Amino acid sequence: MKYSTRTGSLSELTTPCLIVGLEQARTVAAEQGQSALFDAAVQDFSDKAGRVLVVNLTRESGIKRLLVAGGTDGEVTPADYRKIVDAAARALKPLKIDSALWALAGTRVAARDLYWRYSAGLSALAGALYQFDQHKTGNDKELTLRAVQVHADARGRSWAQRAVREANALQAGLDFARDLGHQPPNVCNPTYLLREARKLGRLNKVKVSALDERRMKELGMGAFLAVTQGSATPGRMIVVEYRGAKAGDAPVVLVGKGITFDTGGISLKPAINMDEMKFDMCGAAAVLGTVRAAAEAKLPLNVVAVVAAAENMPSGGATRPGDIVRSLSGKTVEILNTDAEGRLVLCDALTYVERFKPRVVVDVATLTGAMIVALGAHASGLFSKDDELAEALLAAGEWSGDRAWRMPLWDDYQDLLKSNFADVPNIGGAGAGSIVAACFLSRFTGSYRWAHLDVAGSAFQGGAGKAATGRPVGLLFRYLIQATR
């Protein structure tokens, strides 16, 4: 999908589909000589946020269809505007057209400027128009939408152009992340993740490297290796560096959990829905997608993505509950549950990133099922003791619509992490599972500013609508944009 801007009077432009509000659609139809047809079509239309209607015009019209979005006339709330653009974007997908013209940014939204309105609409399109069919066969694929033009007048053209540049970059990053998430686990293993990450090295100012298991053993990454030792596919620590600023500028470091399939190891998961554990690498996919978006947008800052890629498999060589390993930090970890493996690969990654002298570190992980219980699918869980960093991430999520909710990271919860035999166990008691997991990670982040995003509920959907969402690429990309100002 490619986005661009277009100016001119709507009634004089040609397009297979014009996406517009009711009153503006009525005006365009009249100027096209289509008033009677249009009035009959919208007679029973409910002009409310979230309602849409496609009106096919006659062959003589330069505009072949009007996709009418309800609720755009008068001032609306930001939440209603998102409802409007989301509904319009979803309605656009099944139409058998190759391009469309988007004209909803003129809607008045309380406390939101024109740039935000353009960006919110483009974000809705990026979310709705994605499809993944790499493993489907057949030659009967329907015509798919390939380009959307954003209508802008002289006053808003510069804002539209900026929003379009960022939207094209975000689309590239989201698609990269979602494509990785959708690959089956017999395709997407740590070796595949590294191969796909190396493709980012083709972008300007991007460098890709990796640590193999031999090098990780030399460094002392015993926690990471405890997870991967049960798999026939070796683990990898993947490093992607985007250098958009001066070499000496401290980078924003993003760390992603890349468990390409999580059986639970010896602490085996139930069989039901285990296929969804291919999504346990969505944190890794998100940080790689964010770096791609930053590079595509040519953001003037340095960004490093570190991916801890491994499979968690049961075998004769797998880690057992009760094993004790030494992490890269020197701390020993008692592994009480091999299904709490994400924090093991992440703790070594979080120690490793100290060498980059980071500006901040944000790790992203589908870490705990308890996060789904707490927040469902609507928000990612945000943990940090750094109020400034937390507020910046929350603001980025609110602006982009890829929202997060701050969870407590109080020292009181650290008492739940006690081991009789090692410095720290990898699980606590029965309660506060997401918080205890974040507390575990916090013990390896003392030398820099840090935040943790638990995206177990937001990074993918289960059930009949099973899919990777690409979140929190939108939040992280917006945070990086804000960090350049």
Final residue of a structural domain among 85, 118, 152: 152
Task: Tell me, yes or no, whether 286 lies in a domain.
Answer: yes
Are 108 and 183 within one domain? no
Are 214 and 307 within one domain? yes
Is residue 279 pLDDT above 80, yes or no? yes
Rounded-to-integer distance, Cα 359 and Cα 452, Å: 15
Identify the pLDDT of residue 299. 98
Are 393 and 324 within one domain? yes
The C-alpha torsion from 12 through 105 and 149 to 31, rounded to 10°, is -20
Are 142 and 255 within one domain? no
The per-residue pLDDT for range 48-65, each reduced to its tens digit, is: 999 999 999 999 999 999
Average pLDDT over residues 208-222: 98
Distance of CA 347 to the CA centre of its chain: 22
Are 411 and 284 within one domain? yes
Task: Tell me, yes or no, whether 159 lies in a domain.
Answer: no
Domain that holds residue 96: 2-152
Are 148 and 185 within one domain? no
Is 269 an annotated catalytic residue?
Answer: yes
Is residue 462 pLDDT above 80, yes or no? yes
The per-residue pLDDT for range 378-395, each reduced to its tens digit, is: 999 999 999 999 999 999
Please, which pLDDT band fits residue 106 given cuts at 50, 70 and 90? very high
Average pLDDT over residues 260-276: 97
Rounded-to-integer distance, Cα 201 and Cα 262, Å: 28
Identify the pLDDT of residue 144. 79
Rounded-to-integer distance, Cα 264 and Cα 277, Å: 9
Are 192 and 320 within one domain? yes
Say which of 64, 157, 162, 269 is annotated catalytic. 269
Are 177 and 139 within one domain? no
Task: Tell me, yes or no, whether 475 lies in a domain.
Answer: yes
Percentage of the chain exceeding pLDDT 90 = 96
The per-residue pLDDT for range 399-413, each reduced to its tens digit, is: 999 999 999 999 999
The C-alpha torsion from 158 through 163 and 168 to 174, rounded to 10°, is 170
Residue 290, burial from CB neighbour count under 10 angstroms (0-12, 13-18, 19+): buried
Task: Tell me, yes or no, whether 161 lies in a domain.
Answer: no
Task: Tell me, yes or no, whether 165 lies in a domain.
Answer: no
DSSP letter assigned to residue 484: T
Is residue 142 pLDDT above 60, yes or no? no
Are 177 and 59 within one domain? no
Based on the structure, what is the number of domains in the chain?
2
Is residue 143 pLDDT above 70, yes or no? no
Say which of 82, 236, 257, 343 is annotated catalytic. 343
Rounded-to-integer distance, Cα 248 and Cα 144, Å: 45
Are 223 and 363 within one domain? yes
Q: How far apart are the first and last CA of the chain?
A: 28
What's the mean pLDDT when you consider all of the chain?
97
Identify the pLDDT of residue 141. 55
Task: Tell me, yes or no, whether 444 lies in a domain.
Answer: yes
Is 331 an annotated catalytic residue?
Answer: no
What CATH number corresponds to the domain at position 134? 3.40.220.10
Strands 252-262 and 18-21: unpaired
Rounded-to-integer distance, Cα 65 and Cα 16, Å: 6
Final residue of a structural domain among 91, 120, 152: 152
Please list the residues that pair with 307 across neighbouring strands: 238, 256
Are 68 and 108 within one domain? yes
Note every long-range contact of 25-32, with CB atoms under 8 Å and residues 24 or more positions apart, other chains counting: 25/55, 25/66, 25/68, 28/63, 28/66, 29/55, 29/57, 29/66, 32/57, 32/61, 32/62, 32/63
